[in-house]
Amino acid sequence: MPTAYAFYLTTILVYGAVDSMACLALNYEFGFAGVSNFGFIIFQAAGAYAAAILSMPRAATANGGFQQYVLGWNLPWPLPWIGAAIVGGVVALPFVFLVGKRLRGDFAAVGLLVSAVLLNELVKDYVPFLNGAAGVSIVPAPFQSKWDPQGLGYQFAYGGVAIVLTIAVYYLLRRVTESPYGRSLRAMRDNDIVADSLGKNLRKQRAGVLVLGGALAALSGAILVGFISLWAPGAWGYAETIVLFAAIIVGGAGNHKGAILGAILVPLAFEEITRFIPPVANPTLIPALQWVAIGLLIILFLWFRPNGILPERRRLLSTGPALNTVEVVPDDGDSDALIKLGNVDQLNFRELLHLDNTVNDNRVILSTTGLSKSFNGVTVVSDVSIEIHQGKLTGMIGPNGAGKSTTLAMLAGTLRGSSGTIFYDGEDITSMPSFKRAQAGLVRTFQLASEFKKLTVLENLVSAIPKQSGDSFTGSLRGKRFWGSEDKANIERAEEVLEGFGLSQYADTYAGGLSGGQRRLVEIMRALLAEPKVLLLDEPMAGVHPNLAHKIGDQLTKMCESGMTILMVEHELSIMDAFCDPVIVLAEGMVLATGTMAELRKRPEVVEAYLVG
């Protein structure tokens, strides 16, 4: 019997490695980048099929041609595995259109789920492609002409190779996720619209994530098929993806070790434990109960332990004496009043914001002509033509529903205008996507809280810094030696800003745990670190204590003196009085007037629109 146990052990090793690799890949997509790939099993299946048909002989000659399939290239190991990984990456590409920027995460997920169902049905029904529902069988094991695949030594060696590859995948993914690129992925996960507004190319990031995740999933499938030597549609029903999601939820999303733990606890243990249950009268009872258990596991974990057994680690970046223990700041309403902007007066904004070459020349830097927007036939912004002058702190006021935020969103590219043109620095940017506008220096903030919740305050700030050499997939692969010193300088720059705004002690606190006023500050600081030439602020003072609001206003004025341009939407008239010149008044989607606050107060139509409307 000991040999039987030894063979069983090798099976466990291979399955454990395959499940772990798959969970690592899915966790990279879902836990780190927020791409809910409900069609994940497609990629594992594609890898298994690819490895199978690349290693099998031509269908007509093999075993009397009892099965039909394409290719049949009879390639020696490791080419089928490499080919499988490539196929997995290529299969990901058509799905990029689903996870592109404009689709809600859950809608995209449903699309992927449906794709998994569809592809499974097609493969099942169209026999000549991959032998239909029966699937491909007698897939050659690597080196089977030299060694006996049924030998114990071979099986242990196979398990060993599978484990070594899984460990390699672990280190590869860790290298990627713990880089500035990984930080951008997590920022996208926490709030994709905001990441976009800070210059992150969501489509490219998500495509990269799907391709790498797909390639790794495919590799796991290739390893599996080489061991079990058959692969059929029954093995990759869409619900298999749910098992892997359950594993990640149990283990801990956003934690590589958690993914491995989940793989061992859920797919592996669930399969194996049921082997030891004595047979019962109803043959579907045990598998049915297995599915019930998976479902319950998902629901109960998401309720009682949503971050899993091994939650995501907090990344402590600060070099100073940050209070690492601060997890959550109580939002008691008064805490804002206590915020003292630090040594902000000593901050050299010209240097900090890389405005060194900017000359305050009062030219028109941002303008619109005939900008309009309608939703469902309702016009929200109508024929707005404005000019924003360089170095000015321009205000924008108007009653609720006047179209202020919509105008700002169109300037930043968050929304596409229905008609009209936008010029920025002499260039027509009407159809430029928002992340490119941000990269060109046109950066916005949001009216609603928009911090990256599960990034620390310092990470929030650093993530916005443009042109980081580690902020690309290839950059991240080159490792810390490549991007480390630059990242250190970036962190120090962010810390300097943080200190200036008096929030150093929260450097390593999750931004989601700050009070309302503090979060506004984080957002402003983050926008500044994106190095804007023109900063678009959407009600930055909303919910901020008046004392603090005026301190922030002073700093905004100083930034404009240093060469930056600001357009600020704000309700608080005292802020407009104190800091903004000129001020644009919008009412019912149209520009009502433009001028200094003193001039505007004399105009009856403005007073009426603002007070009555």
Partner 1 sequence: MSSFGFGLITAAVLAIATVGFTMQFAVTNVLNLAYGSVMINSAYVTYYLNIHHVTAWVALIGGVITGAVASWCLNRFIFTPFQRRNLAPITIVIVALGVDLVGTFGLQAIVGSSYVAFHQSAGNEYHFLGMILNGLQLIILAVCAAVLGLIHWLLKYTRLGKAMRATSANPNLARNSGVKTQFIISTTWLISGALCGLAGTVFAMNTGVFEATSAQLYIVLLLAAMFLGGPGEPYGAMLGALIIGLSTEISAAYINPQYKEVIAFVVLLGMLAFRPYGIFGSEKTL
Question: H helices within 450-479, ranges in order?
Answer: 457-463, 473-477
* 315-344 positions binding partner 1, by CB under 8 A: none
* CA pair distance 371, 354, nearest whole angstrom: 31
Q: Which of 145, 284, 346, 400 binds partner 1 (CB under 8 A)?
A: 284
Is 157 a residue that touches partner 1 (CB under 8 A)? no
In terms of residues, how long is the chain?
613
Q: Which of 79, 152, 168, 285 binds partner 1 (CB under 8 A)?
A: 285
- Tokens 């490695």 correspond to what residue? 17
**30-49 mask for partner 1 (x: CB under 8 A)?**
------x-------------
Q: For the CB of residue 121, give the shortest distance to partner 1 in the complex, in Å.
A: 7
Exposure string of 577-596, with b = 16+ CB inside 10 Å and e = fewer, is eebbbbbbbbbbbbbbbebe
Is 103 a residue that touches partner 1 (CB under 8 A)? yes
Is 299 a residue that touches partner 1 (CB under 8 A)? yes
39: Cβ contacts below 8 Å, ≥ 6 apart = 95, 112, 113, 115, 116, 238, 241
Q: How far is CA 418 from CA 35, 379, 443, in A?
A: 30, 10, 21
Nearer to partner 1, 65 or 128 (CB): 128
Contact status, residue 84 vs residue 142, Cβ threshold 8 Å = no
Is 122 a residue that touches partner 1 (CB under 8 A)? yes
My answer on whether omega of the bond before 582 falls inside 30° of 0, hence cis, is yes
Q: Which of 266, 294, 511, 560 binds partner 1 (CB under 8 A)?
A: 294
Is 291 a residue that touches partner 1 (CB under 8 A)? yes
- Tokens 């995948």 correspond to what residue? 169
* CA pair distance 534, 407, nearest whole angstrom: 15
Is 479 a residue that touches partner 1 (CB under 8 A)? no
Q: Which of 21, 53, 98, 541 binds partner 1 (CB under 8 A)?
A: 98
Number of residues that bind partner 1 (CB under 8 A): 46
Is 5 a residue that touches partner 1 (CB under 8 A)? no
- CA dihedral sign, ordered 236, 241, 246, 249: positive
Is 467 a residue that touches partner 1 (CB under 8 A)? no
Q: For the CB of residue 106, give the shortest distance to partner 1 in the complex, in Å.
A: 4
Q: Which of 63, 125, 128, 361 binds partner 1 (CB under 8 A)?
A: 125
Assigned token pair, 523:
């957002």
Is 93 a residue that touches partner 1 (CB under 8 A)? no
Which among 511, 518, 517, 414 is positioned nearest to 462, based on CA atoms? 511
Number of alpha carbons in the 13 Å side-chain half-sphere of residue 208: 23
Assigned token pair, 145:
């002409």
Contact status, residue 532 vs residue 442, Cβ threshold 8 Å = yes
Is 346 a residue that touches partner 1 (CB under 8 A)? no
Nearer to partner 1, 111 or 342 (CB): 111
Contact status, residue 148 vs residue 245, Cβ threshold 8 Å = no
Q: At residue 235, what is the residue type?
A: A
13: Cβ contacts below 8 Å, ≥ 6 apart = 156, 159, 160, 162, 163
Nearer to partner 1, 290 or 360 (CB): 290
Is 598 a residue that touches partner 1 (CB under 8 A)? no
Q: Which of 68, 115, 469, 594 binds partner 1 (CB under 8 A)?
A: 115
Nearer to partner 1, 290 or 335 (CB): 290
* 368-407 positions binding partner 1, by CB under 8 A: 375-376
Q: For the CB of residue 291, give the shortest distance to partner 1 in the complex, in Å.
A: 4
Is 133 a residue that touches partner 1 (CB under 8 A)? no
Task: Please choose, out of 193-201, 238-246, 443-451, 552-560, the segment that lies near partner 1 by the rule CB under 8 A.
Answer: 238-246
Q: Which of 102, 340, 363, 467 binds partner 1 (CB under 8 A)?
A: 102
Nearer to partner 1, 241 or 555 (CB): 241
Q: Which of 117, 134, 265, 329 binds partner 1 (CB under 8 A)?
A: 117
Task: Please choose, out of 3-11, 180-188, 237-245, 477-485, the segment that lies near partner 1 by the rule CB under 8 A.
Answer: 237-245
* 243-282 positions binding partner 1, by CB under 8 A: 245-246, 249, 282
Nearer to partner 1, 412 or 548 (CB): 412
- CA dihedral sign, ordered 154, 156, 158, 160: negative
Assigned token pair, 284:
């579907």
Q: How far is CA 8 from CA 143, 159, 163, 460, in A?
A: 21, 11, 16, 48
Task: Please choose, out of 175-183, 283-291, 431-439, 554-562, the segment that lies near partner 1 by the rule CB under 8 A.
Answer: 283-291
Query: In the complex, which residues of this chain contact partner 1 (CB under 8 A)?
Result: 36, 97-98, 102-111, 114-115, 117-118, 121-122, 125, 239, 242, 245-246, 249, 282-285, 287-292, 294-299, 302-303, 306, 375-376
